Amino acid sequence: MKPLAAAAVACAVAFTALPAAAVTYSPKGVSAEEVGAVLKAKGLPVEITTDSGGDPMIRSSSEGLNWLVYFYDCRGGRCTSIQFTAGFDLDDGLTYAKANEWNFTKRFGRAALDDEMDPYVRYDIDTAKGYTSESMAYALETWLLIIPAFSDFIGY
C-alpha cells in the first residue's frame, strides 16, 4: 500500500503541470453532452436537440443573442467537428462588401450572406485527434467575443 500511496503522490506532483480538469477527448470526437458541459461551465444555457440531418444540435445564447452549435461527421454520438453559428435577420440585409470587410479584417468567425443577404457568422472547430476540453473552453471564449463584435459590425 505504501508504495502505491507514494506513487499517487508522485503522479500528483507530475500532473500538477497540467491544469486540473483537462481532458483529451476521444479520437472519435466529441459528444453533445461534452460540448454542453463546457457551455454550462461558462454559465450558458444548453438545450440539446437534433438537427434536420439527425445529428446533435445545441441551442444556446449569450448577451440576448441566440446561437447554435452544429455537429458534423458524427458516428455513435461522437462528432469530429462542430460549428458555432449565429444568424442575424436584418431589414435590408448586408452588402457583400461589408461581409468581405469582416472576413478581411477579422481573424475568427466566417461571415456569409444568405439568399436574402442576411448575415451569418460561423466558427468551425475540428474536434478529433488530440482535441482537449481546454481547447474547447478557449474556442468558446473566442466565440463569445465574436458574436457581440459581429453584431456591432453589422449594426444589429
Please give the backbone phi and psi of residue 103, each rounded to the nearest 5 degrees, phi first: -65, -30
Q: Are 146 and 99 in contact (CB under 8 A)?
A: no
Of residues 81 and 151, the one with the C-beta less far from other proteins = 81
145 touches other proteins by CB under 8 A: no
114 touches other proteins by CB under 8 A: yes
Query: Under rule CB under 8 A, how many of the chain's residues touch other proteins?
Result: 47
Burial class (CB in 10 A: 0-12, 13-18, 19+), 111: buried
111 touches other proteins by CB under 8 A: yes
18 touches other proteins by CB under 8 A: yes
Least separation in angstroms between residue 90's CB and other proteins is 15
Least separation in angstroms between residue 15's CB and other proteins is 9
28 touches other proteins by CB under 8 A: no
Least separation in angstroms between residue 124's CB and other proteins is 5
1 touches other proteins by CB under 8 A: no
Which range of residues in 30-38, 47-55, 59-67, 100-108 is near other proteins by CB under 8 A? 100-108
Sheet holding 119-126, edge to edge: 47-50, 56-62, 65-75, 78-87, 119-126, 110-113
Task: List residues binding other proteins (CB under 8 A).
Answer: 2-4, 6-11, 14, 18-19, 22, 24, 27, 72, 81, 83, 96-97, 99-100, 103-104, 107-108, 110-114, 120, 122, 124, 126, 128-135, 137-139, 142
